[in-house]
Amino acid sequence: MDLHTIADVRDARRREPWRPGDAWLGGGTYLFSEPQPHLRRLVDLSRMGWEPLVRHEDGSLEIAATCTIAQLSRYGRRLLEAPAAPLFEQCCRAFLASFKIWNMATVGGNLCNGLPAGPMISLATALDGTCLLQAQDGSLRGVKVVDFITGAGRKDLAEGELLRSVTLPGRALECRTAFRQASLYGLGRSGALVIGTLDPADGSLAVTVTAATTRPFRFWFPLPPDADRLRTAIDSAVAPAEWFDDIHGLPEWRRHMALRLAEEVRRELATPDGTQEGAR
Amino acid sequence: MSFDIQVNGRPFDTEPRAGQCLRTYLRERGWFGVKKGCDAGDCGACTVHVDGEPVHSCLYPAVRAEGRSVTTVEGLASRDGELHPVQQRFLDAQGYQCGFCTAGFLMTTAALEAERDTAQDDGKLDDLPRAFKGNICRCTGYRAIEDAVRGVRHTERPCAGKAVGRNVGAPAGPQVVTGTARYTFDVEVPGLLHMKLLRSPHPHARILAIDAAAALRVSGVVAVLTHEDAPGTLYSSARHEHPTEDPDDTRVLDDVVRYVGQRVAAVVADSEQAAEEGCRRIEVTYEELPYVTDPEEAMRPGAPVIHAGKGPGVRIARVENNIAGEVHGEIGSVEDGFAEADVVYEETFRTQRVQHASLETHGCVAYFEPKEDGTGERLTVRSSTQTPFLTRRALCALYGLPEDEVRVVAGRVGGGFGGKQEMLTEDIVTLAALKLRRPVKLEYTRAEQFYGATTRHPFTIGIKVGAREDGTLTAVQMRVVSDTGAYGNHGPAVMFHSVGESFAVYRAPHKKVDAFSVYTNVVPAGAFRGYGLGQVTFAVESVMDELARRLGMDPLVFREKNVIGPGESLHSPIGEEDDLHIASYGLDQCLSVVRKAIAEDRSAEEAPEGWLIGQGTGMAMIATGPPGGHYADARVSLLEDGTYDIAVGTAEFGNGTTTVHQQITAGALNTTEDRLAVRQSDTDVVRHDTGAFGSAGTVVAGKAVLLAATALAERLRTLAARHTGAARHLCVLGAESVDCAGRLVTLKELYEAGHALGAADELSADGHWGGSPRSVAFNAQWFRLAVDPATGEIRILRSVHAADAGKVVNPMQCRGQVEGGVAQALGATLFENVRTDERGEVTTAAFRRYRLPQYADVPRTEVHFTETSDAIGPLGAKSMSESPFNPVAPAFANALRDATGIRFTELPVTRDRVWLALDRKARNIGR
């Protein structure tokens, strides 16, 4: 929709001083979807020229904040040669939004919106990602995605601070992954999204719970736990008020689904063929 | 700074505003095929291609389109006008109804076809639920869209005189698929001013002062209108043939606001931007008043009185108890009836607030044009309305204008579903236009549709039924509370209708009702497809199913034993309706369709292991028109070029009545539909038309058209006989000419002859129908479901619908009405819910917060028509627009009961609630 209070669009390359009423313009798919009467200027990131996806020598993958979902989907389907590659497309498809939105929406925008159902948050948390943040004075800091999101729509981001990229370590990309999603509707917004990653290097298992909770939770086990331990770990870590309560699912159902999907993920990864209980 | 952009191969260089999206940039350049459905990226109606990539143009920053090439639906066909294959397929399958979403589906499908077999192809075209995640159609239920994408052809071109009963395509089809059909806002009006509304933040407050000085200082703001500018007249926003059906409780702008979202002031400016800024600058001083948002509480003594001070003249039943309308009645004695019963079952059912969600929002454009007789100007209001004539009448009453000074016209309307049987924008836009003598437009946002329009009435239905051991009903009693919100528009009428046919369809010696339409400080409810029947049918059909189970009877057998039969009279405890008859009876056939489906059904085998399986039926009866008269005038004329003109008042919003009117006329005049043009929904074209509501498009307006066309056929034969001297009974009307005992007189020649003979009047004929007497139509819905007890997920294994529409004039379109009704009802059954908070404020004012049925949600429904022919309806036809909605929710709930053993009494039945109920049941049993 038209944002009537916007008086100017500035090119972010100019690095002009941040003013109250400024907002970073990534893909625009959130900004233009709701009235933003508090905003006066948009600082456009589309000409930054950041390489959308860079595979570094250490095997890590740096995803620019401006990388579109469509670019990420194509990369995951066609270019990334890593065991965790299928997870990219699974998370893209977990978007409520149409594939047409993928052509504009950015990875950084999804992270910075901080919504519980943000599937890029799920992906980047599960793959142990780290955000690179740039303050207005140019200083950089890194923060784990799991810590970047602090609540529903809340994130560790200062006024004018910019999410530059998110980096997924090479070791995470080598993991075998399992993905589960539940929604109240067919192909709808996630009410619970659980991802498991099994690290072949040491056999450790991480289970990431998102969408059901107000913020992402990542549970790491040196070895795959049994069903009870996994359940207890999740249930004791997520406080009752942290099971998300909104129109896309009752908290009781979200908790039930998260625990259930976590167990499915555990089973899938705890055994080589993923079909039955492991004997470890 | 220069700007350049190519749109459909044409260069444009106007620089966009900083915060402008591509959608409005394109529309401002005249590309009206780009539609606003949600303006938030959810519905896809604004889909365009930017450098070949499909995007939602409402989210696309216009400044980013610099240097790019944009294709809209207008640019899809080749330059010489040959349709794109996707356009042709949507035309052939009639993959649309109102057509407002169609450009989005076309542009999405075309992009996917272009992507086919390229490196980008990820299989979406083989996976339509995923491909159409971001495209919402409110009308069709998606089957027709699937057929269009897959290249299934449905439309036919029958030969002369054979159109009735065939799948004639909608006449607007070519315009719909090329983006050239003109909807309400698809017009350029020079000097147009824009209106934005300031809305109340309080559920109930008195306005003490409004300071508009700062607003008026905003550059571009022309006027601010407040209650001081508005007439003191009380009226209802509801539109009925008889305005006395609704309480007069509304002012254009009031000094008391009664719900969060009620309009407080209107700002008129030379841009939406300035008008919006003006709204932000208005300072209002409120005195907050106590409020009540629950209808039961609202009726209790001591509750805040929402319409305090309004006298008996406004027809509010009991002002002091917040009761807009009520009805109480008893046939026999239910007390005796329950005493006679072997089984008595009692339960309370609740239905939620639902939004119509027509993809075109409310709004209108008012402008002045010279009167035809040259005596000055008159006001023309182009509105997204189902009732142009009634709206003109209301505007004239409100502003003291003679009818010849106001014209109300509807373009193609982008969906209605009852929501546009209401005057929600024309009143205030007219106020501004009259005051400023300038053209003014008000176009609702999608959010305003939720908090500033109307909803379906939420109902609470306490119902008690008794039956003998042999399955004979002894008594039915209901206490119905309908929440009409802050205003009573349609409130009492919906309440009356809700307990009419729903009671009458079951035979029981003792019936009793107490029904209330109650004011609360919440967004008003209004007319909605089914008009109250669907809510009460949910309760009635649920309890009949439950009662049968308790008696150990097959619910179908139980129904067959207790439903009214052909020739019986209709008894409701609210009294008889003299003009309502069973002029054709297809209920037995409807139930047979269900019985046959159950017998042959093997879909349970498709259920995943461990899932619970169940089946259930719901049925409903509906009168084929509203009570108290529903009028239509029509005129059919032979034109100079030998074609015909049909003038009819009713509006087209995808209901397909225009096609039906053509077919009826083609049959009567023994011609083909390409020789017939329809002019419609304009107060200029005929004397009067009550409007496109109450499923009246075929049975009322269609009957008027039939009378006019039949009369014209007779006149033309008489004229031909006079012209040729042949015996009248030997003159046979054909598509091109009249065969006068072997001599062919072309229709052009006949036209000339008419004038030459001084019989020009004989070249036209009028038809009129008053909508009475009325018949009844029947529907039955059957589902087989599978339910995952571990997650609450429900899969519809099979959906079968039987419709008694009498003689079906256009099976393709009628099937579309049924499928669309079932899909809309499934939305209301499964997830649609306008939620409000403790202050009555709507919290779900966007499609991402208010789930509409999407492609992935809607199963294919098998539609069966009964073999009936109605003695009242035109050519034996009956109405079939609202009624398919009504049996769906109870059929679903009954199937869910069958599968889970749990009776769900509250809608919607979302997965989380189903799981929760199953989990509680399992744990209780385990204890």
Let me know: does B251 contact B832? Beta carbons within 8 Å: no
The verdict on B868 and B811 lying in the same domain is: yes
The verdict on A140 and A150 lying in the same domain is: yes
Distances (CA, A) of A121 to A94, A171, A245: 11, 18, 18
pLDDT digit string, tens, across residues B156-193:
999 999 999 999 999 999 999 999 999 999 999 999 99
Residue A237 in any domain: the answer is yes
The verdict on A31 and A125 lying in the same domain is: no
Q: Is A44 on the interface with B (CB under 8 A)?
A: yes
Distance CA B191, CA B177 (A): 30
The verdict on A136 and A201 lying in the same domain is: no
The verdict on B879 and B838 lying in the same domain is: yes
Confidence band, pLDDT 50/70/90 cuts, at residue B903? very high
Structure tokens belonging to residue B9: 């191969």
Q: Is B120 on the interface with A (CB under 8 A)?
A: yes
Residue of A8, A32, A47 for testing the chain B interface, max B β-carbons within 10 Å? A32
Residue A2 in any domain: the answer is no
Our separate counts of H helices and E strands in chain A read: 9, 14
Of B451, B470, B490, the residue that ends a domain is: B451
Chains A and B form CB pairs within 8 A to the count of 155
For residue B64, list chain A residues with Cβ-Cβ distance below 8 A. Answer: 28, 44, 46
Chain B, window 306-345: residues with a beta carbon less than 8 angstroms from a chain A beta carbon: none
Q: Is A267 on the interface with B (CB under 8 A)?
A: no
For residue B54, list chain A residues with Cβ-Cβ distance below 8 A. Answer: 100, 103
Distance from CA of B379 to the nearest CA of A (A): 30
Q: Is B925 on the interface with A (CB under 8 A)?
A: no
- Residue numbers of the domain that contains A36: 8-44
Of A171, A205, A232, the residue that ends a domain is: A171
Residue B887's identity, in one-letter code, is P
Q: Is A188 on the interface with B (CB under 8 A)?
A: yes
The verdict on A143 and A252 lying in the same domain is: no
How many independent structural domains does chain B possess?
A: 5
Of A46, A247, A250, the CB nearest to B835: A247
Residue B868 in any domain: the answer is yes
The verdict on B130 and B252 lying in the same domain is: no
For residue A187, list chain B residues with Cβ-Cβ distance below 8 A. Answer: 129-130, 133, 854, 856
Structure tokens belonging to residue B735: 């598509």
Residue B297 in any domain: the answer is no
List helix spans (H) across B563-656: 587-600
Asked if the Cβ–Cβ distance from A93 to B857 is below 8 Å, we say no
Q: Give the residue from chain B lying closest to A25, CA to CA.
A: B61
Distance CA B243, CA B130 (A): 47
The verdict on A222 and A177 lying in the same domain is: yes
Distance CA B296, CA B307 (A): 16
Q: Give the residue from chain A lying closest to B130, CA to CA.
A: A187
**Residue where the block lists tokens 């508009």:** B212
Distance from CA of B829 to the nearest CA of A (A): 12
The verdict on B764 and B875 lying in the same domain is: no
Q: How many C-alpha atoms does A232 have within 13 Å on its Cβ side?
A: 6
Distance CA B838, CA A209 (A): 31
Q: Is B68 on the interface with A (CB under 8 A)?
A: no
The verdict on A38 and A95 lying in the same domain is: no
Where does residue A178 fall: left (phi above 0), alpha (psi -120 to 50 degrees), or beta otherwise? Answer: beta
Q: Is B909 on the interface with A (CB under 8 A)?
A: no
What is the domain-level CATH number for residue A188? Answer: 3.30.390.50
More confident residue, A107 or B375: A107
Distances (CA, A) of A234 to A226, A231, B122: 13, 5, 35
pLDDT at A273: 56
The verdict on A213 and A249 lying in the same domain is: yes
For residue B444, list chain A residues with Cβ-Cβ distance below 8 A. Answer: none
pTM (whole model) above 0.95: yes
Chain B, window 432-471: residues with a beta carbon less than 8 angstroms from a chain A beta carbon: 445
Above 70 in pLDDT, residue B853? yes
Distance CA B261, CA B258 (A): 9
Average pLDDT, chain A: 95
pLDDT digit string, tens, across residues B495-550:
999 999 999 999 999 999 999 999 999 999 999 999 999 999 999 999 999 999 99
Our separate counts of H helices and E strands in chain B read: 25, 31
Where does residue A187 fall: left (phi above 0), alpha (psi -120 to 50 degrees), or beta otherwise? Answer: left
Distance from CA of A231 to the nearest CA of B (A): 16
The verdict on A187 and A250 lying in the same domain is: yes
Residue B187 in any domain: the answer is no
The verdict on B614 and B639 lying in the same domain is: no
The verdict on A105 and A193 lying in the same domain is: no
The verdict on B829 and B894 lying in the same domain is: yes
pLDDT digit string, tens, across residues B355-410:
999 999 999 999 999 998 888 999 999 999 999 999 999 999 999 999 999 999 99
Asked if the Cβ–Cβ distance from B60 to A104 is below 8 Å, we say yes
The verdict on A165 and A180 lying in the same domain is: no
Asked if the Cβ–Cβ distance from B854 to A74 is below 8 Å, we say no
**Residue where the block lists tokens 């008020």:** A241
Q: Is A21 on the interface with B (CB under 8 A)?
A: no
Of A7, A186, A191, the CB nearest to B18: A7
Confidence band, pLDDT 50/70/90 cuts, at residue B329? very high
Closest CA to B396 of B377, B410, B379, B371: B379
Residue A178 in any domain: the answer is yes
The Cβ of residue A20 has, within 10 Å, a number of other Cβ atoms equal to 10
Q: What's the rounded mean pLDDT across residues B650-662?
A: 93
The verdict on B318 and B458 lying in the same domain is: yes
List helix spans (H) across A127-250: 145-148, 170-173, 227-237
Above 90 in pLDDT, residue B38? yes
Q: Is A18 on the interface with B (CB under 8 A)?
A: no
Closest CA to B71 of B96, B48, B95, B53: B48
The verdict on B138 and B168 lying in the same domain is: yes
Distance from CA of A181 to the nearest CA of B (A): 12
Q: Is A103 on the interface with B (CB under 8 A)?
A: yes
For residue B220, list chain A residues with Cβ-Cβ distance below 8 A. Answer: none
Confidence band, pLDDT 50/70/90 cuts, at residue B1? low
Asked if the Cβ–Cβ distance from B133 to A187 is below 8 Å, we say yes
Q: Give the residue from chain B lying closest to A76, CA to CA.
A: B122
Residue A197 burial (C-beta neighbours within 10 Å; 0-12, 13-18, 19+): buried
pLDDT digit string, tens, across residues B856-882:
999 999 999 999 999 999 999 999 999
Residue A3 in any domain: the answer is no
Residue B423 in any domain: the answer is yes
Q: Is B61 on the interface with A (CB under 8 A)?
A: yes
How many independent structural domains does chain A possess?
A: 3
pLDDT digit string, tens, across residues B452-496:
999 999 999 999 999 999 999 999 999 999 999 999 999 999 999
Distance from CA of B141 to the nearest CA of A (A): 15
Residue A188 in any domain: the answer is yes
pLDDT at A278: 37
Asked if the Cβ–Cβ distance from B911 to A184 is below 8 Å, we say yes
What is the domain-level CATH number for residue A77? Answer: 3.30.465.10
pLDDT digit string, tens, across residues B686-738:
999 999 998 889 999 999 999 999 999 999 999 999 999 999 999 999 999 99
Q: Is B827 on the interface with A (CB under 8 A)?
A: no
Instruction: Please report, rounded to a whole number, the percentage of residues in chain A having pLDDT higher than 90.
Output: 96
Residue A280 in any domain: the answer is no
Asked if the Cβ–Cβ distance from A186 to B120 is below 8 Å, we say no
pLDDT at B927: 43
Instruction: Please report, rounded to a whole number, the percentage of residues in chain B having pLDDT higher than 70.
Output: 100
The verdict on B502 and B522 lying in the same domain is: yes
Residue B824 in any domain: the answer is yes
Asked if the Cβ–Cβ distance from B24 to A97 is below 8 Å, we say no
Asked if the Cβ–Cβ distance from B134 to A100 is below 8 Å, we say yes
Of A3, A98, A252, the CB nearest to B44: A98
Above 90 in pLDDT, residue B820? yes
Q: Is A37 on the interface with B (CB under 8 A)?
A: yes
Q: Give the residue from chain A lying closest to B850, CA to CA.
A: A247
What lies within 8 Å, CB to CB, of B770 at 6+ separation is: B629, B630, B631
Above 60 in pLDDT, residue A274? no
The verdict on B475 and B502 lying in the same domain is: yes
Above 80 in pLDDT, residue B666? yes
Above 50 in pLDDT, residue A280? no
Of A171, A195, A228, the residue that ends a domain is: A171
Average pLDDT, chain B: 97
What's the CA angle centered on B515, arms B522 and B626, to 5 degrees?
Answer: 90
pLDDT at B926: 47
Q: Is B353 on the interface with A (CB under 8 A)?
A: no
Asked if the Cβ–Cβ distance from A187 to B915 is below 8 Å, we say no
For residue A103, list chain B residues with Cβ-Cβ distance below 8 A. Answer: 53-55
- For residue B519, the surrounding DSSP H or E stretch is strand B510-519
Above 90 in pLDDT, residue A275? no
The DSSP secondary structure of B43-76, one letter per residue, reads S-TTEEEETTEEEETTTSBGGGGTT-EEE-GGGT
Of B178, B211, B242, the residue that ends a domain is: B178
- For residue B500, the surrounding DSSP H or E stretch is none
For residue A46, list chain B residues with Cβ-Cβ distance below 8 A. Answer: 64
The verdict on A166 and A190 lying in the same domain is: no
Residue B209 in any domain: the answer is yes
Of A142, A171, A200, the residue that ends a domain is: A171
Of B39, B134, B851, the CB nearest to A97: B134
The verdict on B172 and B31 lying in the same domain is: yes
Structure tokens belonging to residue B796: 């519809």
Q: Is B115 on the interface with A (CB under 8 A)?
A: no
Residue B294 in any domain: the answer is no
The verdict on B652 and B685 lying in the same domain is: yes
The verdict on A134 and A188 lying in the same domain is: no
What is the domain-level CATH number for residue B199? Answer: 3.90.1170.50
pLDDT at A276: 44
- Residue numbers of the domain that contains B490: 312-356+454-551
For residue B791, list chain A residues with Cβ-Cβ distance below 8 A. Answer: 182, 257, 260
Residue of B17, B23, B48, B59 for testing the chain A interface, max A β-carbons within 10 Å? B59
Of B727, B744, B769, the residue that ends a domain is: B769
Residue B559 in any domain: the answer is no
What is the domain-level CATH number for residue B712? Answer: 3.30.365.10
Residue A275 in any domain: the answer is no
